[in-house]
Amino acid sequence: MTTVTRRGETVNLNGDLPPVGSKAPDFSLTRTDLTDVSLADYAGKRKVLSIVPSLDTPTCAMSARRFNEQASALGDTVVLNISADLPFAAARFCETEGIDSVEALSMMRDRQFATDYGILQLDGPMAGLTARAVLVLDGDNTVVYAELVPEIRQEPDYDAALAALEAID
């Protein structure tokens, strides 16, 4: 069983991130306008999946702002910020923070995403939410970069994710 920590306490996850070289599992997530999307909606585009427990935490907010500034400037790329937040809260967050180049997606209707991606927190105070992770997918949904952040309150390695993104043909 994979584990991460939160404030130094061990948190068990339900599985493992999809490994580099594998196909990313499909998903059904909800946009801020309440429409549902899947990986097929982003066919042919490079994708950054910035997975966070909730946008309503300082580290998650920093991550959304950072990817909004950096990764969104790259062509043929979509940055998906995925959390358990309701679409209304995600929309309000993005509007307040001026985040306009990152698409916020919610697990509101389908928590299967967290299970399929191996990042569902099974215990601890945030059980039922995701751990923090970043995946970079090529246009065919092959995982080219995967990072499970070891401490939930820690930011991901933005430089490594962006380098993997830029290395995609």
List, by residue number, the catalytic residues: 60
CA dist 5 and 46 (Å) reads 30
Q: Characterize the bridge pairing of strands 29-30 and 36-37.
A: antiparallel
- H-helix or E-strand spanning residue 145: strand 143-148
CA dist 65 and 56 (Å) reads 13
CA dist 162 and 70 (Å) reads 8
CB 7 within 8 A of CB 1: no
At residue 70, what are phi and psi to the nearest 5 degrees? -100, -60
How many CB atoms are located within 10 Å of the residue 74 CB? Answer: 15
